[in-house]
Amino acid sequence: MDRAFKAIHKKVEEEPYARKLGLKLVKIAPGYSLVRMVFTPDMENIFGMAHGGAIFSLIDEAFETASNSHGTVAVALSLNVNYIKPPSPGAVLHAEAKETSRSNRIATYDIEVRDDGGDLIARSQATVYRKKDRLPFLHT
């Protein structure tokens, strides 16, 4: 499993979209992920608050890495987000994804986004379809 964690961590570092948003994989374990992002001015919406898409992207990265942490390909089926509170400009945000159930085909996750003060920014529930294929970048 350690090999899968290292490979996922490397892929996140190389992923163009993650680099564009400054997404950093902080921790990964079976069915678990913690991803960090700093809320920067270029992530603001028309009201000067964090764009929902930026927060969604942080959640999605945590979801992606947690659901693929078992070493097999997992693809999103659904992701529901409840935005609770806008973060302050410059806030360090963390999305923590925790697997709540897993079968051979389906797994579900609870994901919370909190700021550096511990305030809840968003909550999410997500579901993946678990394929049998090993992660393709584990073969290299």
Q: Are 122 and 112 in contact (CB under 8 A)?
A: yes
Phi, psi of 70 (to 5 degrees): -85, 0
**Residue-level pLDDT at 138:** 82
Q: How confident is the model at residue 61 (pLDDT cuts 50, 70, 90)?
A: very high
Calculate the alpha carbon distances from 61 to 17, 40, 46, 134 in Å. Answer: 10, 17, 24, 19
Average pLDDT over residues 69-83: 96
Taking 80 as the threshold, does the pLDDT of residue 89 lie above it?
Answer: yes
**Terminal alpha carbon distance of the chain:** 15
State the average pLDDT over residues 105-116.
98
| Residue type present at position 117 | G
- Give the pairing of strands 120-134 and 72-83: antiparallel
The matching CATH number, chosen from 3.10.129.10, 2.40.30.10, 3.40.50.980, 3.40.190.10, for 2-138 is 3.10.129.10
- CA pair distance 32, 86, nearest whole angstrom: 24
Mean pLDDT of 71-97: 97
Q: How many CB atoms lie within 10 A of CB 71?
A: 15
pLDDT for 1 equals 61
pLDDT value at 95 more than 90: yes
Q: Residue 42 CA to chain centroid, in angstroms?
A: 20
Residue 140's pLDDT is: 54
Mean pLDDT (the chain) is: 95
Sign of CA dihedral 44, 50, 56, 62: positive
Parse the chain into domains and list their residue ranges.
2-138
Write down the pLDDT at residue 137: 87
